[in-house]
Amino acid sequence: MAIWFVAAWTHILISCEPAQTVPVEEIRLTVYRIIDGDSFEGRANGQNYRIRLFGIDAPEKGQDFYQKSKDRLGQLCKEGPINIKIREKDYFGRWVADAHTYKGEFINQTMVKEGLAWHFTKYSKDPTLKKLERDARDLQIGIWSIKDPTPPWEYRKNKKANQPQRS
């Protein structure tokens, strides 16, 4: 019994690892699917990648500005291959990265600057993203044009809490 318990506990600990750090890798990616305002899928060097933009969190499906955020990310990605600088792999197996359009526009920053994503301070202390969010709030653009927008991480937590329990 004790051996089974230790084996099961070890498996749980191993399978619940935090984000993995990887060597900095830069790739040119052709995007083929926009998931939401901070995630997309693309292909580079014969390999598929699921990308999560570093330092930002965009509205979830069902929230105000979800579709506008998703559409804007699609516009930024469709003009040509984008440059990706991978930072790490997250708990869900996505590559967390910085992304630039082929013209050099920093996509992560653009989404926050235009009020289409929050600076995700749980994972990022980037002073530029902090300032861009403050400026967007002051200008009341995008998500900041509505009174008291719910951050996506709170929306996800509330949605999960309200799901029926399985037995």
Q: Which of 28, 52, 133, 166 is catalytic?
A: 52
94 assigned to active site = yes
- List beta partners, residue 20: 89
Long-range contacts of 104-107 (CB under 8 A, 24+ apart): 105/76, 107/53, 107/73, 107/76, 107/77, 107/82
Q: Which of 60, 72, 87, 133 is catalytic?
A: 60
Residue 56 CB coordination number (10 Å): 27
156 assigned to active site = no
Q: Which of 72, 94, 105, 137 is catalytic?
A: 94
60 assigned to active site = yes
Pairing, β 82-89 against β 56-57? unpaired
- Residues annotated as catalytic are 52, 60, 94
